[in-house]
Structure 1
Amino acid sequence: MTDNTGSDDPTSSQGASAAGETPAADGKDDSSGAETPAPRKGSKLGAVKELAFLVAIGVATAFLLQSFVIKPFWIPSESMENTLLVGDRVIVNRLDGDVERGDVVVFKGWDGADTIKRVIGKGGDAVKCCDDKRRITVNGHPLDEEAYLYPGDYPSDPFEVKVPQGRLWLMGDHRSQSVDSRDHHEYTGDGSISEDDVTGRAFAIFWPLSRATFLSTPETFTKLP
């Protein structure tokens, strides 16, 4: 942003200080007979117009960012604890490209409302619970979920699914408190959601400040082939 400090200041524009003159008190002439330059009304009006223009640009930029690039969301439930707590505010990137396993995403849920969960499987993945160590597997490879799974929760009750192409299998980190793909698969036969229903990836908690942090993909997902 251009620094306009002093550009419309009547004193500096007239060069009174640079000339070494001292303005006369009460509007009287100084010893040299020079008069104090009167403030220019036009320059003040110009400063107001410029400020209004900059405010308008800022508002328009914020609107465009929220409409097309990033958007804040509030967490209303316990389904993603302890990754996300009730009352947390997150920022969602709406232009982040392809969704990957392990991403925390906001999407249009099964009831049409904005919902936030973690991507466990993508189109073509075979997702199953559980192996002999009670771990969820993706294409036969176990997930080490200790880093994000709610303490004391088991990964899930048994299920096995082949995720259709173009769709996602999503689960909350607080498994015992999350209504997610597992429940809808049980009741409807297809708990996945379309990739087109994804609003974006949550990449940071910004409020409260005491919890502000970036949300990264757990390492266990980066090890999947």
Structure 2
Amino acid sequence: MGDLAVGARSGHDGPEDRPVQPDEAASPAAAGHAGSGSGSADGDTQGGGDQAGPPKKQRSFWKELPLLVGIALVLALLIKTFLVQAFSIPSDSMQNTLQQGDRVLVDKLTPWFGSEPSRGEVVVFHDPDNWLRGEPTTTPNAIQTALSWIGLMPSAEEKDLIKRVIGVAGDTIECKDTGPLLVNGKALNEPYVYPGNTPCTLDDQGGQFKVTVPPGKIWVMGDHRQNSLDSRYHQTDRNGGFVPVDNVVGRAIVVAWPPTRWNTLPIPDTFDQGLSVAAPGALGLTGAVPLVLWRRRRDTARLTAGNPRVSGSGTAG
């Protein structure tokens, strides 16, 4: 299985990103070794003095090996395609949440059921519009080409990144001065931001912005704010810096390697403060209901006061 890499270098001083690569060593294919489980089976013995049949010949391990390898490859392909995939982290753009050399497991199952990324999630996504231009690509050997063909490694052209989702469709995200970062007018408390970094930057290449996320898109940023070429620095591309939801591979759910770094990747509490913006239609309905009720009561009062045949009890005199 290939490796996924985050972050690509650009001419901009400071922030950098390199492609995130699916991890071969931590992939299901690498762990998909199965030992031979075959054993000898004795022939059945008939009662009444009949002689036992000839013993069944044990199948050679070397004859079973291709079958076992084939099963392991199929299982690895299914797991990688539909369930979980391992990716390695090659850059510093998500420090200290993720370090170079970390292996993360990415949930690929949930998106199959229509789930879309949520604020605060760490997600892996395909390069939206050449964010990783200039990043060198390696020429695969014959084995890597074969594994890529069957889906156990990404193609040489495939490049992915990993960032944190800051805003989803409809959100307005704003950076003023050095922060805090505002989502729909509410300040985020971001303890995951790299120590010494400010939530926003004062540079004129994207550090100061105010954007509204369009439908079908997300806005992503790295936790190492001063070393991440994220949505801020791609606002002139065809997506305006936003990442199409269809480009999202899945959510990174756990740091699986090295063992000393094992940890889950939960959504930070700051994203639980009710950041969603009420839809204009819902706001209009909320305001219209009291107005309609007030007008109905007013009209009823006028009708009662102006007609002597109508009493307060509603019966005719």
Q: What TM-score do the two structures reach when normalised by structure 1?
A: 0.76
Change (3 A) 1:189 1:63: closer
Say if 2:194 is the partner of 1:150.
Answer: yes
User: What is the Cα deviation at residue 170 of structure 1?
Assistant: 0.3
Say if 2:100 is the partner of 1:83.
Answer: no
- Identical counterparts, % of pairs: 42
Change (3 A) 1:139 1:9: same
User: Does the CA contact (< 8 Å) of 1:163 and 1:169 recur in 2?
Assistant: yes
**Which one-letter code corresponds to 2:166 in the other structure?**
I
**Which one-letter code corresponds to 2:74 in the other structure?**
A
Specify the alignment match of 1:8 in structure 2.
39
User: What is the Cα deviation at residue 193 of structure 1?
Assistant: 1.2
2:251 to 192, 197, 201: 201
Specify the alignment match of 1:190 in structure 2.
240
User: What is the Cα deviation at residue 107 of structure 1?
Assistant: 0.7
Question: Which runs of 5 or more structure 1 residues have no equivalent in the other structure?
Answer: 16-36
**Bigger share in strand:** 1
2:218 to 165, 168, 184: 168
Specify the alignment match of 2:118 in structure 1.
100
User: What is the Cα deviation at residue 56 of structure 1?
Assistant: 3.3
Question: Which runs of 5 or more structure 2 residues have no equivalent in the other structure?
Answer: 1-35, 45-51, 132-158, 202-207, 276-317
Q: What TM-score do the two structures reach when normalised by structure 2?
A: 0.55
SS of 2:235's equivalent? helix
State the distance in 2 between where 1:217 and 1:139 align: 18
Specify the alignment match of 1:121 in structure 2.
167
**Which one-letter code corresponds to 1:105 in the other structure?**
V
State the distance in 2 between where 1:79 and 1:186 align: 21
State the distance in 2 between where 1:48 and 1:179 align: 51
Specify the alignment match of 2:15 in structure 1.
none
User: Does the CA contact (< 8 Å) of 1:8 and 1:43 recur in 2?
Assistant: no
State the distance in 1 between where 2:234 and 2:163 align: 14
SS of 2:75's equivalent? helix
CA-based RMSD:
3.0
Aligned length: 195
State the distance in 1 between where 2:264 and 2:245 align: 23
User: What is the Cα deviation at residue 210 of structure 1?
Assistant: 1.2
Structure 1 stretch 51-60 or stretch 71-80: which is displaced more? 51-60
User: Does the CA contact (< 8 Å) of 1:8 and 1:47 recur in 2?
Assistant: no
Structure 1 stretch 109-118 or stretch 54-63: which is displaced more? 54-63
**Which one-letter code corresponds to 1:177 in the other structure?**
N
Specify the alignment match of 2:146 in structure 1.
none
State the distance in 2 between where 1:64 and 1:189 align: 32
